[in-house]
Structures are given as structure tokens and as C-alpha cells.
Copies of this chain bind each other. A is one copy, B any other.
């Protein structure tokens, strides 16, 4: 299913203006959270009028959903590239971990936004967002695992859906731990202050963890 949160007018403006608006919105929402984010400041940062913002998007929530959607698409692209490279399961996982580390460092705001979004209490909004992510990880991981099981790379006595879920859980918290203040502090408390200086070690241990879980020889 595909949702559209912007009005037609937004489709017509220049790509440059579009991205100026999206970037401004992502930064503001990620920095202050949904509630404290200020539409007037977003307009100013983007160099357009508030009036225009409201011509492009019906309201604050729609603008929010639009950028969430935008960030999801960006993530999908990264993941799809990895998946389509047709390598073995473990290498795929390793690539994903590295990609998350890279992505979370460069696109901090997108991950913060994801976390912010997941906290949203408005249930209608939650449903819209969750649906929006549909298929992205759930089906993706599940099918990779099934394929790996067929190939004999992964143990067969596991439920691929549940294991896809656990795998994604590890990935999600990895992202948060690289982007969101609270989870960063938390990671430091588990390891130490210097944990962020050694991405490879973390990747290596996580891979070991996952490898064990999936019973890879």
C-alpha cells in the first residue's frame, strides 16, 4: 500500500526546493520531536513561507508523515542494494551491520526521526506509519532467512518470521545506539566511553551473536 501525504502542488515544485523543505523538516522534527518542532521555523530554514508549507501539506502531521515516508524510502534503497547483491546470508548480515553504522553516522536525523515516530501516541498516526514501513524489513528479512534455510546456510528448526523479527530488533537498536542520545548513553554504560571509536569490534561481536543464533557453521 502506498500513501501520499503531500498535496499535488508539492509534486510540481523544483527538486531543489523539495529537498530544502524535507531537510529542514527532518532536522527540526529530529531535533525537537514532533510536538516541539516548529512549522514556522521549518519554513524559515527552508527559505519558503509558512503559507507555502501549508499549500504543500495539509497540516503538521502530514508534513511529518511525508518526511517519515521519505526517510523510509532512503533506507529501503540502501537495504535493497545489499539484498540484491546475491551474497551468502552471513555476508548480507555483515553488510547490513556496516551499512547501519555508516548510515546512522551520516543520517543521524533519519534514525532519530524513526525513534521519535515510534514513540508517537496518536494511534491513527502510528498505524499509518507502521503500514508505511510494511514489507520493508518484515518480508525482506523473512524471505532472506527462508532462502538461507533452503540453501542450508541456516538451521531449519527455527521460525523464520520470528527470527526475522529478532534480527530486526538487533538492527533497530543498533541504529538507535548510534543516533539517539539516550541509547548512546546506554551503550556507553554497557561498554565504555570509547565504544564509538571502534565500530569494527562492535560489528564483529554482533555478527558473532547473530551467527550463533542462526547456527551457522
Contacts and interface: CB of A to CB of B under 8 A. Distances in A.
Nearest to A135: B189
User: For the complex formed by this chain, how many copies does it contain in all?
Assistant: 4
B127 A163 contact: no
Nearest to A166: B209
A181 interface: yes
A103 interface: no
Secondary structure of the A contact surface, majority rule: helix
Contact of A183 (B118, B183, B213): B118
Interface residues on A, range: 35 or more
A126 B170 contact: no
A61 B159 CA distance: 43
Interface string A21-32: 000000000111
A60 to B, nearest CB: 13
Interface in A177-198: 180-183, 185-187, 189-191
A75 to B, nearest CB: 14
Interface string A118-132: 111101001101110
Contacts of A112: 121
